[in-house]
């Protein structure tokens, strides 16, 4: 019933594509704009502390607008499209279903200000699409770090030092799949991997929607 009512409201108010403004499909991202998203070749993008990192696309064009809309412009409905983009790439990598989806956490104060953690939304949608276990509470951010985008590699590492903490009661079996929106220097993953290893968790793979760099 709820989905029917939401669909009816969407039809009445003609939900427009966030990217091109079209209301033909009455969705936040029309099939044309979604089809313009470009994937990177399916391969390991880099290795951080011995752990494989995969990146699905380049942080540009519609993919950049998708992430920025979801992250900064109060467009939570876009989480599904980013998760779908990531899932379509990921299904070419692994048929293993014994994964735990763990989104990169944000500091609680920042989450309240934004009203949500965009990667938690993406992680939930991704888990639904893949059938993986969703484990958003395994690791939390306990330090209110500065935004990373203006910092150099050394500054990023210092900024993230001791920023995360594993919630031991949430430890479960299965490979940890850390997911984030963008991987630049890899400092966030590096610090999270370090914290997980401190707690005896070593079976880890990292996956991001984008990277600023090509293949």
Query: Does residue 96 carry a pLDDT above 90?
Result: no
Query: Does residue 202 carry a pLDDT above 90?
Result: yes
Q: Where in the chain is the domain with CATH 3.40.50?
A: 37-211
| Domain 37-211 fold | Rossmann fold (3.40.50)
Q: What is the strand order of the sheet 204-211 is part of?
A: 46-48, 51-58, 204-211, 175-182, 99-103, 133-134
pLDDT tens across 50-85, in order?
A: 999 999 999 999 999 999 999 999 999 999 999 999
Angstrom distance (rounded) from CA 27 to CA 18 = 8
pLDDT of residue 5: 62
User: What is the percent of the chain where pLDDT is above 70?
Assistant: 90
Q: Is there a contact between 139 and 192 (Cβ–Cβ < 8 Å)?
A: yes
Mean pLDDT of the chain: 91
- CA atoms lying within 13 Å on the CB side of residue 61: 9
Please provide the DSSP assignment of 171-182 as one string: --SSEEEEEEEE
């Amino acid at each position: 019933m709820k989905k029917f009512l939401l669909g009816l409201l969407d039809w009445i108010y003609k939900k427009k594509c966030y990217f091109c403004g079209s209301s033909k499909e009455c969705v936040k991202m029309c099939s044309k704009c979604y089809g313009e998203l470009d994937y990177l070749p399916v391969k390991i993008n880099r290795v951080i502390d011995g752990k494989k990192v995969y990146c699905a696309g380049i942080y540009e064009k519609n993919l950049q607008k998708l992430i920025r809309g979801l992250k900064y412009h109060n467009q939570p409905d876009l989480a599904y499209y980013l998760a779908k983009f990531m899932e379509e790439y990921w299904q070419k990598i692994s048929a293993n279903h014994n994964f735990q989806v763990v989104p990169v956490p944000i500091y609680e104060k920042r989450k309240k200000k934004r009203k949500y953690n965009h990667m938690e939304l993406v992680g939930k949608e991704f888990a639904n699409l893949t059938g993986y276990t969703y484990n958003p509470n395994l690791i939390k951010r306990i330090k209110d770090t500065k935004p990373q985008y203006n910092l150099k590699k050394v500054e990023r590492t210092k900024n993230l030092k001791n920023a995360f903490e594993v919630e031991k009661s949430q430890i479960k079996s299965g490979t940890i799949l850390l997911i984030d929106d963008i991987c630049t220097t890899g400092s966030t993953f590096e610090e999270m991997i370090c914290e997980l290893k401190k707690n005896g968790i070593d079976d880890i793979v990292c996956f991001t929607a984008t990277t600023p760099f090509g293949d």
